[in-house]
Amino acid sequence: MSLVAAPQTPLERFNGQTFRVLLDCLARPGKIGQLPSPPFTSVPSPADTTPSNVTAIAACMSLLDQTVSFVHAVDKSWLPATHPLSRWIMVRSNARLVTPAMADFALLHDFASIALLPQLPEGTLLYPEHSCTVFLCVPAIVAGGKTLRLTGPGIATVVTVGLPDAASNDLAGLMARRGLFPLGVDLFLIDRQGFCLGLPRTTEISLC
Amino acid sequence: MGYVAVRGGSEAVARAEELVDCLRLLGGSTPLQLPQIRDQLRHAVSRAMHEGALYAPLLAALAVKQAEGDSIEAAFLLRAYRTTLPRVMASLPVSGRDMRCLRRISASFKDIPGGQILGPTTDYLIRLLQPALMHEDVRSVIAATERYQALIAAGGQQEGEIGRFPKVIDYMRQEQMIVDLPLEPPAEDPYDITREPLIFPCPRSARLQALAQADTGSLMSLAYSSVRGYGDAHPTLIELRYGYIAVQVAHPLTGEPVVIGEIEATEAEVASKAHSVTNTNEPPRFNVGYGFAFGQSELKVMSMAILDSVLTQARAGSLAGESGPAAQEEFVLLHTDGIEASGFVAHFKLPHYVTFAADLSVLGRARDHHAQRQTRLNQLVDQAIKEQ
Amino acid sequence: MTELTDQLYHFALLDEDAQREIRRKLLKAVAIPGHLVPFASRDMPIARGWGTGGLQITLSLITPEDTLKVIDQGDDESVNAVNLRRLITRTTGVATTTDTTAATIIQTRHRIPEEPMRADQILVLQVPMADPLRWVEPNIERATIMHSEADYGKMWVYMYESIVRAGDLRIASQYPVIVNRRYMMDTTPIPRWDVPKLHMAETLYLFGAGREKRIYAVPPYTAVEPLQFEDYPFRTEYRPGQRCARCGAENTFLTSHFVADAHGGRWETTCSDVSYCTKRCAATETTA
């Protein structure tokens, strides 16, 4: 039986592999997935003091196209469409940069920007899926570490993960606006090594 | 033997397809050429195109040939092909005003600006089989060309823009007989039900798209139910026109409109029997329904226009008379797609022996329950007799 | 030139945007267990009602490294399973298997395999109806409101009436369940036998209804409870003493089929999961 399809391009391959990691991480909160290396180079930085987490940006972009919208932020403020990184993302994804309350996706380039979480859509009772998916860049994620204690769907009993270097304010921001099921935002935490932690709205988070 | 229990399903599937291919040609007649189908089975090709939602006459002819004339199968083949095509850009809006008409009639007024043009139609044909068609050959083709030239000569060539006529609906709108264009928030792009899920209540553009690619027979049946008594009895045909419309896109660099081709299409508007009460501040007017389809597809566009009108009135709560299924938008749009309906009805040919085994288990338990009840009843009767 | 004409289509048939849309919807489905997420559901080269929903999910998930198993009625060789497998392999080139334990993605119609599935596997179920409320509320707009308010009273009444009339919860397959104590979900026509396998499972279950244009999911370790009454508990099809005529298994879902022989033939009940049954038969032969 002959193959009738062309092989995947490097970007399609990245998008396909990334999706499987994201799906697995969201289905199993607390399981730390390893994202593949993105086929992007020379990505603009969100801020002079904050280098870009290319894996997180590429993972978010793997889900963007002209039918969806996004916002991104660094140091607790939303970046405008004129920012070089906004342009870089828009040109490659065709996604629209909108106001936070309308965003399908949010890319938070540093942990502190989690403070902006309450501005993002949480869905409605009729359409709880019309909620934001957030990609949050964090310094490091440690499987089995002792920062967060997670329970809920996808977790057999309890699981713990470590977020070294996380400030208590950041952790408080992470735990805000939860327990509203079926409403809520869904989060992916991605560290500098490309390790990924999924936190769907169903996960109950407490501190260890 | 069952068709699942048998090993070697792969081979059976391949051979079944081969058999179909052979059967088409086994009769020994000359294989059909695509231009023959396109020119001589005009309506079959049009139907494949509007139900398949792709304007491609020669590909539609191929689909009709491959489907051996089955209209739903031909439309299915085209749709499955269309889904693999990239969506390069959206065309600019086209208007029926710019149609080069081969035919345009109105039932609402005797004389209309530009006049009634009957054009090619079988409407008044006495339905007798024509034995002459049995023996057509190349001489008939030549004769047809000559007859066509004679018809044109008799009709008289007109100067200027051939076949362009003002729309009757524009006059009626100007005279405030009919409602203004719906006051829906102008979406940047029309809704595309092939790219976004159809969620109810849906915008009118989604409704019109769904109706435009619906099965002709299903639309006709529901439109008939409505005009027969379950809905807006007896609407009036404002205008029906058939002809050619140029399709334009905006030039990607300059933004100037560029004509990329011409499509053959039919368009219709109907006015509701009952006047609208949608806006109590304004004097009552008639409601309007719109229909459009590729090719000369008059039954389709009239059915579509009737249903569009009924659904608009039903949503506004101004539908007069009994309402039936044709007045329920969800019911109409979800049950008239020929591809979806035929697929699901045909899926019952698939093996269901797991679910049937489960059904049998439930049936068994229901029988036990029945038997127990019966026994208990008999016991009670026996007891009662004894006690007497 | 041959290469060009042979490779007319995108990897996994659907174009990148279509795959992306389904991926976005799948993530939301996993985040809201049991909730029906609408998706565009492109036209496919197979008929609606023949697995287009499951197929679109599989095609959006699959990577060249995957090993695929496709079953229909528990059988890898069922005509429709063969046809879907043919389409997927021709557009992806992935390896296929009939062994449940060797697959990374299993697409199925009407069954969950008998062998327990693992965390590194995904089961994709083809769904014909999607909304469990269809029996009591065919209008989608109204049913969506009922789901949003967790207003399932009508369904409980339906269940109660079926007990009064038939002495049993009269739903054979497509048994309604409550997922994560919130949403009522249609289990697609799997027999009741397979319903307990959804509860606190190791595997991710993805459901695709192509004609109905809905995607939903049951993540691993998620509570899935069949609707039942205290005095009429949920029961599977299990009959004490049941046994597969081929492999002798006493705890599998059985279906009956006709076997022709010299005496005109007889009816036999065997495992519907044919690959599992064959594996057991082979194991017996080896030990014998």
| Residue A161 domain flag | yes
What is the mean predicted confidence (pLDDT) over C124-142?
Answer: 94
Distance, in Å, from the CA atom of B267 to the CA atom of B230, rounded to the nearest integer, reads 25
Whether C247 is catalytic is: yes
Is C44–B355 a contact, with Cβ atoms under 8 angstroms apart?
no
Got the DSSP string for B304-365?
HHHHHHHHHHHHHT---S---GGG-HHHHHHH--HHHHHHHHHGGGS--HHHHHHHHHHHHH
Per DSSP bridges, beta strands A69-74 and A105-108 are parallel
Is C50–B343 a contact, with Cβ atoms under 8 angstroms apart?
yes
Any residues with CB less than 8 A from the CB of C51 and at least 6 apart, and which? C80, C84, C107, C109, C126, C210
Distance, in Å, from the CA atom of C117 to the CA atom of C101, rounded to the nearest integer, reads 7
Give the E-state strand segments of B48-91 in sequence order.
none
| Residue in B with minimal Cα distance to C237 | B361
| C3 pLDDT higher than 50 | no
B198 contacts in chain C (CB < 8 Å): 213
Q: Can you give the pLDDT at residue B316?
A: 80
What is the mean predicted confidence (pLDDT) over B321-335?
Answer: 90
Which helix (H) or strand (E) segment holds residue C67: the answer is strand C67-72
C77 contacts in chain B (CB < 8 Å): 4, 6-10
Give the closest of C7, C64, C220 to A28, CB-based. C220
Distance, in Å, from the CA atom of A87 to the CA atom of A80, rounded to the nearest integer, reads 9
Q: Can you give the pLDDT at residue B185?
A: 61
A75–chain C nearest CA distance, Å:
27
One-letter amino acid of B32: L
The answer to whether the CB of C190 falls within 8 A of the CB of C173 is yes
Edge to edge, the sheet with strand C37-38 lists: C37-38, C214-218, C204-209, C122-126, C105-109, C67-72, C95-96
Residue C226 CA: distances (Å) to CA of A130, A157, C156, C183, C202: 28, 22, 12, 12, 18
| C117 pLDDT higher than 90 | yes
| Residue in C with minimal Cα distance to A9 | C11
Subunit partners of chain B (3 or more CB pairs within 8 A)? C
| Residue in A with minimal Cα distance to C183 | A182
C109 contacts in chain B (CB < 8 Å): 350
Is A186–C37 a contact, with Cβ atoms under 8 angstroms apart?
no
Q: What is the CATH number of the domain that holds A161?
A: 3.40.50.11310
Name the band, by pLDDT with cuts 50, 70 and 90, for residue C4: very low
Tokens 């995904």 sit on residue: C122
C219 contacts in chain A (CB < 8 Å): 26-28, 153-154, 200, 202
- The residues with which A151 forms a beta bridge, in sequence order, are A204
| Residue in B with minimal Cα distance to C166 | B366
Report the residue of C21, C108, C173, C257 to disrupt the B interface, i.e. the one with the largest count of B CBs within 10 Å: C173
**pLDDT tens digit string along A35-52?**
999 999 899 999 999 999
C9 contacts in chain A (CB < 8 Å): 4-6
Answer with the residue of higher pLDDT: A162 or B87.
A162
Q: Can you give the pLDDT at residue C288?
A: 61
Is B194–C213 a contact, with Cβ atoms under 8 angstroms apart?
no
A156–chain C nearest CA distance, Å:
5
Q: Can you give the pLDDT at residue B182?
A: 59
What is the mean predicted confidence (pLDDT) over B206-231?
Answer: 94
One-letter amino acid of B44: A
Q: Which of A17-31, B360-374, C65-79 has the lowest mean pLDDT?
A: B360-374
Whether C34 is catalytic is: yes
Is C60–A19 a contact, with Cβ atoms under 8 angstroms apart?
yes
The answer to whether the CB of B105 falls within 8 A of the CB of B112 is no
**pLDDT tens digit string along B297-315?**
999 999 999 999 999 888 8
C13 contacts in chain A (CB < 8 Å): 5
Whether C281 is catalytic is: no
Q: Which of A128-137, B28-37, B225-234, B330-339 has the lowest mean pLDDT?
A: B225-234
Q: Can you give the pLDDT at residue B221?
A: 97
Give the closest of B1, B346, B361 to C47, CB-based. B346
Catalytic residue among C54, C74, C210, C247, which?
Answer: C247
Catalytic residue among C51, C74, C210, C277, which?
Answer: C277
Is C93–A4 a contact, with Cβ atoms under 8 angstroms apart?
no
Give the closest of C140, C253, C255 to B330, CB-based. C140
- In the DSSP assignment, the letter for residue A139 is S
Distance, in Å, from the CA atom of B189 to the CA atom of C140, rounded to the nearest integer, reads 25
Core vs surface per residue A143-164: b (16+ CB within 10 A) or e: eeeebbebbbbbbeeebbbbbe
B44–chain C nearest CA distance, Å:
21
- Range with the largest mean pLDDT of B111-120, B363-372, C136-145: C136-145
ipTM (interface predicted TM): 0.98
Report the residue of C127, C255, C275, C277 to disrupt the B interface, i.e. the one with the largest count of B CBs within 10 Å: C255
| Residue in C with minimal Cα distance to B373 | C167
What is the mean predicted confidence (pLDDT) over A24-41?
Answer: 97
Distance, in Å, from the CA atom of C6 to the CA atom of C93, rounded to the nearest integer, reads 13
Domain extent for A20 = 10-207
Q: Can you give the pLDDT at residue B341?
A: 96
C41–chain B nearest CA distance, Å:
7
Name the band, by pLDDT with cuts 50, 70 and 90, for residue B166: very high
One-letter amino acid of A98: V
Distance, in Å, from the CA atom of B194 to the CA atom of B204, rounded to the nearest integer, reads 15
One-letter amino acid of A77: S
Give the closest of A7, A64, A126 to C144, CB-based. A126
Q: Can you give the pLDDT at residue B84?
A: 82
Is B5–C38 a contact, with Cβ atoms under 8 angstroms apart?
no
Per DSSP bridges, beta strands A69-74 and A96-97 are parallel
Subunit partners of chain A (3 or more CB pairs within 8 A)? C
Any residues with CB less than 8 A from the CB of C144 and at least 6 apart, and which? A126
**pLDDT tens digit string along B30-81?**
999 999 999 999 999 999 999 999 999 999 999 999 999 999 999 999 999 9
**pLDDT tens digit string along C172-202?**
788 999 999 999 999 988 999 999 999 999 9
SS3 label, residue C278? helix
A202–chain C nearest CA distance, Å:
7
Is C193–B7 a contact, with Cβ atoms under 8 angstroms apart?
no
CA angle A8, A11, A12 (to 5 degrees): 40
Give the closest of B354, B359, B373 to C111, CB-based. B354
Is B197–C167 a contact, with Cβ atoms under 8 angstroms apart?
no
Q: Can you give the pLDDT at residue B190?
A: 81
| Residue in B with minimal Cα distance to C268 | B5
Is B8–C39 a contact, with Cβ atoms under 8 angstroms apart?
no
Is C20–A63 a contact, with Cβ atoms under 8 angstroms apart?
yes
Domain count, chain A: 1
| Residue A98 domain flag | yes
Q: Can you give the pLDDT at residue A171?
A: 96
What is the CB neighbour count within 10 angstroms for residue B43? Answer: 15
The answer to whether the CB of A147 falls within 8 A of the CB of A159 is no
C45–chain B nearest CA distance, Å:
5
C31–chain A nearest CA distance, Å:
5
| Residue in C with minimal Cα distance to B77 | C45
Distance, in Å, from the CA atom of C283 to the CA atom of C264, rounded to the nearest integer, reads 31
C258 contacts in chain B (CB < 8 Å): 1-2
C57–chain A nearest CA distance, Å:
12
Q: Can you give the pLDDT at residue B134?
A: 92
Closest by Cα among A57, A168, A35 to A111: A168
Name the band, by pLDDT with cuts 50, 70 and 90, for residue B388: confident
| B10 pLDDT higher than 80 | no
Give the closest of A6, A67, A153 to C10, CB-based. A6
| Residue A118 domain flag | yes
Q: Can you give the pLDDT at residue B278?
A: 57
Q: Can you give the pLDDT at residue C265?
A: 87
Answer with the residue of higher pLDDT: B156 or A61.
A61
Q: Can you give the pLDDT at residue B6?
A: 42
SS3 label, residue A189? strand
Give span(s): CATH 3.40.50.11310, chain C.
2-226
Q: Can you give the pLDDT at residue B359?
A: 87
C63 contacts in chain A (CB < 8 Å): 13, 16-17, 20
Is B10–C82 a contact, with Cβ atoms under 8 angstroms apart?
yes
Closest by Cα among B55, B54, B64 to B34: B64
CATH level 3 topology of C2-226: Rossmann fold (3.40.50)
A153 contacts in chain C (CB < 8 Å): 33, 180, 219-223
Q: How many CA atoms lie within 13 A of C226 on its CB side?
A: 26
Give the closest of C10, C30, C220 to A200, CB-based. C30
Name the band, by pLDDT with cuts 50, 70 and 90, for residue B5: very low
| B275 pLDDT higher than 60 | yes
One-letter amino acid of B42: R
Positive or negative torsion for Cα B333, B334, B336, B337: positive
**pLDDT tens digit string along C9-50?**
889 999 999 999 999 999 999 999 999 999 999 999 999 999
A21–chain C nearest CA distance, Å:
11
What is the mean predicted confidence (pLDDT) over B268-279?
Answer: 76
Distance, in Å, from the CA atom of C178 to the CA atom of B279, rounded to the nearest integer, reads 45
Is C140–B80 a contact, with Cβ atoms under 8 angstroms apart?
no
Catalytic residue among C34, C53, C54, C74, which?
Answer: C34
